Amino acid sequence: MSAEKNTRLIAVEHDSEGIRLAALEMLTEFLYTEERRRTRRIAEQSADPQAVLAAVPKREFACGYYLWVTYLFGVEARMQLGIHTELTAADATGLLALGEARREFEREHPLCRCGRRMKNDVERVTGMCRACKDARDAGA
């Protein structure tokens, strides 16, 4: 059974569910860019950088999914800029999955009144990001 599983060939551009999940993961990663940058800086100064970096969440899918999603982000950006782009059926499938991932991401991480995205349930329940809450608490 495992041998059969290991030889299955997935054409990434046709796997809309995989594209959606990888895109959602990448969008969430963008949200934590500053934290990851900070962790890398700490790792550079650490005696055991590997141990520090091990705490960074690993990507969940085969890297081919991220390559294709990155390509789709590029196509999407060009279209938003009004640059004429000829789409293939695979592009269209991917862009639909990307749109779905983006809507899911926006539901999970709504905008705070300051324009930042809320990162977690606590922020979502309080209706504001941590920075705004800290500012409000300091003012009170």
Partner 1 sequence: MEEVAEQSAGQSQATEQLLPLDLPERAVVLGKGSHKTTHFFRRLKAKDGDGFASRIESEIEQRDGEMIRAINVQSACLWLYQNAVIRVEGYRLEDGRPIMELPNWKERIPRSHAIRAVNLLTDISFSRPEFGCVVPCEGDLVFIDARWTADESGTGMQKYAGLKHYFASASVGQHDRFNRARNKVAVVGDRRHGRTIFPSPQPLFVSLYDELIQRVEGYSVGGRALGGRDEIIREMDVFHKCEAARGLFESDIDDSAGAEEDGKN
Query: Can you give the binding site for partner 1, defined by CB under 8 A?
Result: 5-13, 15, 18, 21, 54, 58-65, 67-68, 70-71, 74-75, 83-86, 88, 90-91
Measured from the CB atom, the residue of 65 and 105 that comes closer to partner 1 is: 65
CA distance 102 to 106: 6
Instruction: Please name the residues in contact with 25: beta carbons below 8 A apart, sequence gap of 6 or more.
Output: 59, 60, 61
Q: How far is the CB of 83 from partner 1 (least distance, A)?
A: 7
Measured from the CB atom, the residue of 54 and 122 that comes closer to partner 1 is: 54
SS3 32: coil
Measured from the CB atom, the residue of 88 and 120 that comes closer to partner 1 is: 88
Measured from the CB atom, the residue of 18 and 123 that comes closer to partner 1 is: 18
How far CA 98 is from CA of 50, 104, 112, 122, in Å, comes to: 33, 10, 23, 26
Q: How far is the CB of 71 from partner 1 (least distance, A)?
A: 4
Tokens of 94: 């991917």
